[in-house]
Amino acid sequence: MAHEGYLWRVKKMTANSDSNSNDDFERFQTGAAKYAAYLETPEGRLRLDLAFANLQEFLTQNTRLHTLDLGGGTGSNAVRLAKLGHHVTLLDSSAEMLNIAERTAREAGVSELIVLKHADVGQLPNLFPAESFELILCHNILEYVDDPCAVLRGAAGALRDSSGMISVLVRNQAGEVLKAAIKDGDLGAAESNLTAEWAHESLYGGRVRLFTAESLQAMLLESSLAVTAERGVRVLSDYLPPSVSRSDEYDRIFELERKLGSRPEFAAVARYTHVLAHRADRVHEDPVIKDGA
């Protein structure tokens, strides 16, 4: 496995955009190791495990998919998919993230199934032929890009016909309200988060875009994508006392979160919203991906 085509220096590419783009670029360079460490914490693991379990509900066994992981970071999802036999192209603008992904894939013995692409997701329409992928992951990247709708449109164009699926995971505004009140005891922040479009990223600083069910739905619609299923990720685990969250109860917390996340009344206030979607022009053909669960 090699980094396929270091196409350009992303920093140069963003020279004409606002300063947030360069901040974003820097945080994922310098914060890559911190991010990898976060994914080892119970919170990080839960986010990965829950989202992946949601995704697996829709994957047909014994089908090998061509998958694109947008902003795939340290490769956690790419490696899981490759272990199931899928081919994965992991696209990311951070060379540091890609270095970690390369190492993780090598150690997991799945390097030959993963291609690393160093590029900005904004260039997606120019990077691959249309309809190249049967599955596209868009997990926790839309929070950081200038134009999330453009990314979704690009992803829709790269998605193969009617049978493909896109998996979108984003930070949920409602979850920030509960977090501010319950975790931080900050009633003022809880109230302002009711309408906030941005939150502060505690892991590596900078801002992170928040989504509501309505804003995400509107973006999907504008990108000609239709929702197959919606889940919440991490409904209450963030608020458990450390005696529980840092105990050996991980499996029980995971199982409870799975149940909560699939019930709309709980999913609505989860920390993350997870949407599985397909192209809206869908005419049912032979699905490589299950239609629903």
Binding residues for ligand SAM (CB under 6 A): 24, 28, 71-73, 76-77, 92-94, 97, 120-122, 139-141, 144-145
Q: Which is nearer to ligand SAM, 163 or 204 (CB)?
A: 204
Q: Which is nearer to ligand SAM, 137 or 163 (CB)?
A: 137
CB 140, min distance to ligand SAM, A: 4
Provide the CA 265 distance to its chain's centre, in angstroms.
22
Provide the minimum distance between the beta carbon of 77 and ligand SAM in the complex, in angstroms, as a whole number: 6
Q: Calculate the alpha carbon distances from 278 to 17, 99, 125, 223 in Å.
A: 31, 31, 18, 11
CB contact set of 156 (below 8 Å; sequence gap of 6+):
166, 223, 224, 225, 279
Residue (169 or 178) nearer to ligand SAM, CB: 169
Closer residue to ligand SAM in complex, CB, 201/249: 201
Instruction: Return the number of the residue (97 or 165) whose C-beta is nearest ligand SAM.
Output: 97
In the bound state with ligand SAM, the residue whose beta carbon lies nearer, of 92 and 230, is 92
Task: Name the nearest CA neighbour of 124 among 102, 164, 77, 156.
Answer: 156
Burial class of residue 12, CB neighbours in 10 A (0-12, 13-18, 19+): exposed
The distance of closest approach from Cβ of residue 205 to ligand SAM in the complex, given in angstroms and rounded to an integer, is 13
- In the complex with ligand SAM, the residue whose CB is nearer, 17 or 192, is 17
Q: How far is the CB of 187 from ligand SAM (least distance, A)?
A: 28
Q: Note whether 253 and 245 are within 8 A (CB).
A: yes
Residue 243 CB, nearest approach to ligand SAM (Å): 28
Shortest approach of ligand SAM to residue 121 CB, angstroms? 4
CA distances from 157 to 36, 40, 129 (A): 30, 34, 9
Return the number of the residue (58 or 204) whose C-beta is nearest ligand SAM. Answer: 204
Taking the complex as a whole, how short is the minimal distance between the CB of residue 23 and ligand SAM, in angstroms?
11
Tell me the C-alpha distance between 126 and 46, whole Å: 34
Distance of closest approach, residue 241 Cβ to ligand SAM, in angstroms: 26
